[in-house]
Amino acid sequence: MNADLPKGATTRQDLAAEGIALVASHGEAAQAAAAMLRRRYHFADERQARILVALGGDGFMLHTLHQMLDGGEAIPVFGINRGTVGFLMNEWRLDCLGERIANARRIEVAPLTMRAETIHGDEWTHAAINEVSLLRETRQAAKIEVLVNGRVVLPELVADGVLVATPAGSTAYNFSARGPILPLSANLLALTPIAPFRPRRWAGAILPDETRVTFNVMEPTDRLVAAVADQFEVRDVKSVEVSLDRARPLTLLFDPDQALDERIAAEQFAT
């Protein structure tokens, strides 16, 4: 009898009937876990999936969600951590996968949309689940004009960069840049400077999530700036607009005692 089957079981549990499919990152731990799960459970074909199990780390989860935003169908994703941090993932366990998914809490997150124009006249549009960040490309600090809903709020920010983060992404790069942690239900965005020089004491802002934020790069050909939407980079930008896209929500599934909103709240007390 297969060592991965529960004691007394002779066949794999059928998750294909529920439309549950499995994908895994290329990492060794994720591939080994996928092999164990496939011996224990029968999964649906990914093309007919109604629910997706994603094995890997947070980077793979973002990759999976971006594939949905880039043209695939947005179906619920139950992540299992076989990566490093796993903030967006559930704990690895071989047993009771079907029951875990059936009892999971559904958490909806809306992505940001980045619209960037380069100094060469190219225009790019890309989604971001965590954050959109502007970063200097050279040794010189970036100089950026910041507008909120078309109104100039900072005529000149001199810094290594600046970012806009969603609540789901507020515990990632935003938090490392000393930005605020946002509760998932708060309907807010974080506007956070990265190593600001002027205004020296500006710590950022918390904005309603219907806000449109525009960044105009000053001296864009001399002080080169890149814009990054999660892992997608556009170099040599001269202007970037960021807004929330409620029309394309994404659904993450979590074990009831490990839901994303509770994890974000707990991060405020992490030491």
Residue 175 marked ligand-binding: yes
Q: Is 209 annotated as ligand-binding?
A: no
- Coil vs helix vs strand at 148: strand
Q: Which of 4, 14, 45, 58 is catalytic?
A: 58
Q: Determine if residue 59 is labeled as part of a ligand binding site.
A: yes
Question: Is residue 210 part of an annotated ligand binding site?
Answer: no
Counting Cβ atoms within 10 Å, is residue 170 exposed (0-12), middle (13-18) or buried (19+)? buried
- Partners of 198 in the β-ladder: 158
Residue 168 counted as an annotated binding residue: yes
Closest CA to 127 of 201, 182, 83, 71: 71
Name the amino acid, one letter, at 11.
T
Tell me: is residue 176 an annotated ligand-binding position: yes
**103 annotated to bind ligand:** no
* Strand spans (E) along 74-200: 77-81, 105-109, 112-118, 123-128, 131-136, 142-148, 151-165, 188-198
How does DSSP assign 198-232, residue by residue?
A: ESTT---EEEETT--EEEEEESTTTS-EEEEETTE
Query: Is 11 marked as binding a ligand?
Result: no
Residue that is written with structure tokens 């059928």 in the block: 14
Rounded CA-CA distance 251/184 in Å is 13
Q: C-alpha distances in angstroms, 44 versus 14, 19, 65, 160?
A: 9, 6, 19, 46
Residue type, position 78, single letter: F
Residue 159 counted as an annotated binding residue: no
What single string gives the DSSP state of each residue in 119-133?
TTS-EEEEEESSEEE
User: Catalytic annotation on 58?
Assistant: yes
Is 227 labeled as ligand-binding? no
Q: Which residues are catalytic?
A: 58
Binding annotation for NAD(+)? 58-59, 63, 130-131, 160, 168, 171-176, 195
Binding annotation? 58-59, 63, 130-131, 160, 168, 171-176, 195
